[in-house]
Structure 1
């Protein structure tokens, strides 16, 4: 592994398409963000961690760098015992970063090493390779989609797959009636979208999902505060100021390489081009799978029920956490940590 480092990635000119690079080359200086500011905000968040923390960049063969955290319990009397435990690897969702796990990392690292990293193109990673042969793999939202893809490709490395409100599982519903069957059967439960909604969606699809934050320049942090005040509320007992919304802003005001990758995987309005329900059968039947959903989340748990049906209920659990939205780990951290700890303890 690469030793701990304080290097920051250079800021690159941000543009939404290659064809307009020269036109929008002034955007970086207009936006009140930098990798240095992201680092400072993240450091304030990570200062809350009580256990031993090792933060560093892991360099990939192609020279991209993955910002990686490793947590171990400094209070454990026999470190060798924890070393024999299967590590837990946590993968954040779209637009997030390692700092969002601040309510979970200390608790979950009490009995085993915990790894958390910024997805390539998000947070502080270059816009995972830490030598782990076997892991308990946990992914939230987009991270759940990517974690499932990884488990399908490298099943021998995953002892248990935990998906938290995973994105990209359901197929895009049909909204128009079937033709040629003579019965006008409605496919799906949603009414057809108005033309103006389709028109706006068509325009938005030309840009990366978080382009508006960058386009807002000095008003970008205010936009995050206005449209995502929930992030401040979720962590208000830890930070009285705008630390978490500032963190979200700095994570997403950098070069949008991660968003480019997300666009390549998704269709209009955020549906996955390759819905995971079409591939989940490729997971080994013997691989334990736990799916956690927030009872008040916009991600429907029906996909989890379908996964259980596809896998014929084998080694599959679908759990709902009450009074939790999409960000289950922050809304109900104690219950989330309890469930994940139980899953980890079931492994070893």
Structure 2
């Protein structure tokens, strides 16, 4: 094997969790080449990922990279991704700024520093970070985005929600423009890292209490935070939350399409969005083509590819939070630590509200199950909305959230 060029380098495979660091301690170049070749043969054929399918042959033609010796263990991700994926922190910043240009009300933005040298990127409609705003006495609303998302996806909601009172939106640890540290591989420890980061953020920002709203993974983490820090949450709003039901003990194997089972087997060593990064220069086009629905969701405020660019740059960089999410899941997308088994422990004085989309693949069974033991749980289904309910029907979503908060504050006053 002479001067082998591979579609996947040792660094890229290590970035996606296929090759563990210990496995990379290979003495000779020939052994490194053989290692990569064996892995490539294992994933030949169709290479699937969450946003669609890309032929491996096409990737292999475009993704050539010389095999490099294993050396610097702290910069291998940052040295590989920018050379193949057309992304950078500045491009993510520019895409976010274009998204937020649609917001009319004044806000501030800053990196809020937490422990271990990490920071959480935050925008705030509040007197805490924006002295020019008039004083507001309402309990702040904190927004947590979902898996693969970022704070700018709330662009169609921020004006309306901040008309009520202070609003904070942040990029979760490991996502967006926040720090992307290495997470513990244990699902419970990874969850704790997310929760600890949020609590340290709250302390630094100076919030005593908050209305906590989370979508998808953000909903799961909002519930986990409420369990850990009940005195800091006045109302828990869960929007299409991920990770609530447990995987059935005896799932009907034959009810899962063969192609999904095959995809699961092929993708099991990889991070959920690995294909986006492996596609390299084709990544932006893939997002625009395969997730063209996002352009439609934001068509009332954006008429170009801004949202597609934003989603691409969010997920084309170091897969930190993404890796943590993968370690928190089991096939096919179930949580290793189902929240529905724990959420009944949320203190009774904390109201809980669920918001679902009528067209979403996530049904309201989890909310209904909790309501059986907590009759005061609120469940709202917004017609015509899918999983991204806040973007599918932003006006109805904004009105629903404002009504829920108004009722909660009236009861608590």
TM-score bucket of the superposed structures, by smaller chain: 0.7 to 0.9
**Does structure 2 retain, via aligned residues, the 8 Å contact 1:295–1:321?**
yes
Give the Å deviation of 1:258.
Answer: 0.6
Matched, 1:342 2:395: no
State yes or no: 1:155 paired with 2:238.
no
> Is structure 2 residue 304 aligned with structure 1 residue 249?
no
Q: Which residue of 2 aligns with 1:114?
A: 167
Picking from 152, 156, 164, the partner of 1:103 is: 156
Aligned to 2:193: none
- C-alpha distance in 2 between matches for 1:97 and 1:78: 24
In structure 2, the partner of 1:60 is: 114
Question: Using the alignment, how far apart are the partners of 1:70 and 1:51 within structure 2?
Answer: 11
Q: Cα offset for 1:203?
A: 2.5
Give the match's secondary structure for 2:116: coil
TM-score by length of 1: 0.86
Partner residue, 1:16:
16
Equivalent residue pairs, number: 318
Partner secondary structure for residue 317 of structure 2: coil
**Hey, what's the Cα distance between the residues in 2 that align with 1:262 and 1:85?**
33
Partner of 1:6: none
Distance 1:123 1:132 in 2: 22
| SS state at 1:67 partner | strand
Tell me by how many angstroms 1:337 deviates. Answer: 0.5
Of 79, 82, 85, the match for 2:134: 79
CA-to-aligned-CA distance 1:243-264 (integer Å, 9 cap, x gap): 0010000000010001111012
Q: Mind listing any 5+ residue stretches in structure 2 that lack a counterpart?
A: 1-10, 25-67, 71-75, 181-197
* Corresponding residue number in structure 1 for 2:73: none
1:94 aligns with 2:130: no
The structural deviation recorded for 1:111 is 2.2
| CA RMSD across the alignment | 2.2
- In structure 2, the CA distance between the partners of 1:27 and 1:293, relative to structure 1 (3 Å rule), is same
1:120-164 Cα deviation digits (max 9, x unpaired): 111111003122110000000110000000011111111000000
Indicate if the aligned counterparts of 2:81 and 2:317 stay in contact, CA closer than 8 A: no
CA shift digits 1:9-52 (9 cap, x unpaired): xxxx7621344695985342111111100001111111221112
Contact 2:174 2:321 in 1 (8 A): yes
1:239 is aligned to 2:302: yes
Q: How does 1:179-198 map to 2 (within 5 A)?
A: 191-193=254-256, 197-198=260-261
Structure 2 partner of 1:219: 282
Q: Does 1:164 align with 2:251?
A: no
Q: 1:318 aligns with which of 373, 379, 388?
A: 379
1:143 and 2:241 correspond: no
Structure 1 position 206 matched with structure 2 position 258: no
- What does residue 8 of structure 1 align with? none
Q: Is the 8 A contact 1:202 1:268 kept in 2?
A: no
Normalising by structure 2, what TM-score?
Answer: 0.73
